Amino acid sequence: MDPTKSSSTSPRYTSARQNCAAGYYFLATFDTSMTFELRQLPRITSRIVRIEDRVFELWSPNSAQRPFLPGERSPGFIAQPSRLLEDRRYDGHLGRFDCLYAPQYWVSALSHWPFMRHQPLVRTDDPAYVAYQPLTEGWVVNSTDARRGEFSTDFLRRLSALQSALAVRIETLRPRFTVNSGTWANRPRYASTLQVSMLSSVRSWQDAVDEGVAVQRGLREMEAWITMVEARRCLQPLTMNDLRNADMPLADDRFIGLWVNGLGEPAVLNYMYAGIPCFIAHEYPRNAVHRGIIDPNTRVFTDFMEGTELPRLLFDNPYQMIARESNLLNLGSRSEEGMGVHQQRDGAAEARSSSLLLQELPIHQTTSNPLPPVTSASSSAATASTPVARAPPAAAPGTASTSRSLASTKQDPSASSYAAREPETRVIASDRVPYIVPPPIQSADGKGWEKYQLSPAPDGSKAFIRRGSGHKTTGKTILYDRVRKRRLFMGSYIPPPGVVDYARFGAPAPRYPFLILDNDRSFPQKPSIWVYGTMTPAKGDKGRKAPAPSAVELPLRSATAKGKGKAPRSEEEEDDSEAEDAMDVDDEDENE
């Protein structure tokens, strides 16, 4: 047997397993509340589901996806295969609470899951495709026993190379976290060098599915965790007013996303600002159609899987098809069907999750379905090509001429001599964030420096306040404006993406107002434009121009949030953030 290439012969399971769709027709509990008032969010997609006498709306303010609603995770759910072989699924995934196929409710220890990518939308030429491709493509079947075989040398080599690259990238991010960082502690660690190397000793297809899919999931989680951390870096310390006024981008539907019911407003708006698909579930009164709340001509689905792409992913994946060909597949009965307990929150929170609260929308109507046709569960054929990423559909009825802003009032965009200036940028590669071009290295002597501290201004916002020589100024980080001879005291500072070699060439100054206070009056000052981590440059560096960076020195655009943002997050704002905010950086610390 030649392990250098995969075989065209189908492998065989040694015994029967669970249908891949087992458990998807029953929901234990689910949350349909919203903790904050929905503002002028658009409704991009929506569908109505009626199960028995209960009516639900599943919708999204930013995504073209129509995902499955899995419900809240069971208390005993563990993200690892069952100890009993007969309880495992043919494709190795862990059921409706797994992140491989469907978005989940937010869980603090798994806050990177929304950043995982959809397997069908990962192209075959993607560097990480080996973590998403069916294992059948990397498995060499034994010529005399289809139940046995081994992974091809090429597959293992690509898997090892991806694991090594992701591990190195994670390690480079380590200095950004404090010793007790929860984010760092929760980084995915299953797909280690050891776990990948152990795949070379697997000889049965049964074991290959369990161990191979587990490693692939681990690599996907590593990739997602890196993407999440990079997105946090790009999310600037916007106030809630800034977020509510922001023009939110349409979601990047290559990502799995999450159900945001029960999550705080800062977290939801930050996810939307980062382009992560967000989904909302709402339960209507039982007589919603008769009362005219829902248009009687609206298409109504009969379970949470119908109308999604999940049936195609579950019933026609290569693993399920192998089981079907081997006559091992036991579809079983749907005795598990039924509704679990709906844990009602307070009435106001339940009402807030309906898209009908959006005043610009009419009574619910049918909108075009952006998904490709769902393959019948009884179909014996499945498309082998990678689906093309679908474009978002037109806005739902009533939103065509409506701004995507979360509030109708915009801030005055007019500039003044006291407004921060956008740094010069240059595109190095189309798939990378623009390079922020630094000025020639500046210098200043050590006399006559002013002190500014990031503090609350009289109006409650944050600003750099000038402090006198007798004022005790504190701050975890000190930045140096060598042009205006200012020392800026603040919390943690993370240079924005696009900055290369910050230690030498500096970075844009945090974009806050600069004020002088005189009793109850404040006087604006010209802002700092560029800052350094030291007061003086290294010997011989004065006036040196930065060389153009290579593309690999810049983050990928897909790993960053959309929008320009304003300033790196500071320690003071971290202290004010909600603990549940999955997109916050309250446990990150830049060690300059």
User: Which pLDDT score, from 0 to 100, does residue 438 have?
Assistant: 94
Residue 304 lies in a domain: yes
Mean pLDDT, residues 74-80 taken together:
68
All residues at 6 or more sequence positions from 576 whose CB lies less than 8 Å from its CB, including other chains: none
- CA–CA distance, 82 with 79 (Å, rounded to integer): 9
| Backbone phi and psi for residue 590, each to the nearest 5 degrees, phi listed first | -80, 120
Instruction: Answer with the residue of higher pLDDT: 508 or 87.
Output: 508
Helices and strands (H, E) in the chain, number of each type = 11, 20
Element (H, E) at 479: strand 477-481
Same domain, 69 and 184: yes
- Pick from 567, 432, 417, 428: which is nearest to 488 by CA? 567
Same domain, 347 and 450: no
Answer with the one of 357, 375, 406 that is the final residue of a domain: 357
pLDDT above 70 for 171: yes
Confidence of residue 351 (pLDDT cuts 50, 70, 90): low
All residues at 6 or more sequence positions from 304 whose CB lies less than 8 Å from its CB, including other chains: 24, 27, 49, 51, 56, 58, 68, 69
Same domain, 437 and 327: no
Element (H, E) at 22: none
User: Which pLDDT score, from 0 to 100, does residue 222 have?
Assistant: 96
User: Which pLDDT score, from 0 to 100, does residue 460 have?
Assistant: 76
Angle at 48 between CA 45 and CA 54, to 5 degrees: 150
Same domain, 144 and 271: yes
Residue 473 lies in a domain: yes
Alpha carbon 508 to its chain's center? 26
- Pick from 299, 399, 327, 317: which is nearest to 358 by CA? 399
Same domain, 333 and 444: no
255-277 burial, b for 16+ CB within 10 Å, e for fewer? bbbbbbbbbbbbbbbbbbbbbbb
Residue 15 lies in a domain: no
Place of tokens 């007969």: 86
pLDDT above 50 for 235: yes
- CA–CA distance, 548 with 500 (Å, rounded to integer): 9
| 171 secondary structure, DSSP code | H
Same domain, 55 and 160: yes
C-alpha distances in Å from residue 551, one per residue of 422, 427, 435, 507: 22, 9, 9, 18
- Joined together, the tokens standing for residue 437 give 């071009």
Mean pLDDT, residues 175-183 taken together:
88
Answer with the one of 303, 326, 357 that is the final residue of a domain: 357
Residue 370 lies in a domain: no
Sign of CA dihedral 230, 278, 273, 256: positive
Same domain, 162 and 288: yes
Highest mean pLDDT among 75-89, 140-154, 335-349, 469-483: 140-154
Residue 514 lies in a domain: yes
- Joined together, the tokens standing for residue 480 give 């140096």
Q: Both ends of the chain: CA-CA distance in Å?
A: 54
Instruction: Quote the number of domains for the chain.
Output: 2
Same domain, 116 and 192: yes
Same domain, 334 and 441: no
- Pick from 394, 303, 395, 393: which is nearest to 358 by CA? 395
Same domain, 197 and 326: yes
Of 60-69, 72-81, 304-313, 478-487, the poorest mean pLDDT is in 72-81
Q: At 39, which amino acid appears?
A: R
Q: In this structure, how many other beta carbons lie within 10 angstroms of the beta carbon of residue 145?
A: 13
User: Which pLDDT score, from 0 to 100, does residue 369 have?
Assistant: 32
Place of tokens 């434009």: 529
503-525 burial, b for 16+ CB within 10 Å, e for fewer? ebbbbbbbbbbbbeeeeeebeeb
C-alpha distances in Å from residue 559, one per residue of 224, 231, 309, 428, 502: 9, 6, 25, 16, 20
Same domain, 199 and 279: yes
- Pick from 466, 512, 582, 500: which is nearest to 231 by CA? 582
Answer with the one of 332, 357, 382 that is the final residue of a domain: 357
Rg over CA atoms, the chain: 27
Confidence of residue 349 (pLDDT cuts 50, 70, 90): low
Residue 364 lies in a domain: no
User: Which pLDDT score, from 0 to 100, does residue 209 have?
Assistant: 92
Strands of 344-449, DSSP E: 425-426, 435-436
Instruction: Answer with the residue of higher pLDDT: 578 or 284.
Output: 284
User: Which pLDDT score, from 0 to 100, does residue 383 have?
Assistant: 29
281-308 burial, b for 16+ CB within 10 Å, e for fewer? bbbbeeebbeeebbeeebeebebbbbbb
Same domain, 205 and 339: yes
User: Which pLDDT score, from 0 to 100, does residue 333 have?
Assistant: 35
- CA–CA distance, 97 with 50 (Å, rounded to integer): 22
Residue 9 lies in a domain: no
- For residue 312, the enclosing domain spans 26-357
- Joined together, the tokens standing for residue 387 give 């689906």
Confidence of residue 478 (pLDDT cuts 50, 70, 90): very high
Q: Are 69 and 281 in contact (CB under 8 A)?
A: yes
**Cα dihedral 140/143/145/148 (nearest 10):** -20
Q: What is the mean pLDDT of the chain?
A: 76
Of 115-129, 462-476, 480-494, the poorest mean pLDDT is in 462-476
SS3 category, 327 = coil
Q: Are 303 and 339 in contact (CB under 8 A)?
A: no
User: Which pLDDT score, from 0 to 100, does residue 39 have?
Assistant: 66
SS3 category, 105 = strand
Residue 21 lies in a domain: no
Q: What percent of the chain has pLDDT over 90?
A: 34
Confidence of residue 316 (pLDDT cuts 50, 70, 90): confident
User: Which pLDDT score, from 0 to 100, does residue 576 have?
Assistant: 34
- Pick from 176, 263, 264: which is nearest to 587 by CA? 176
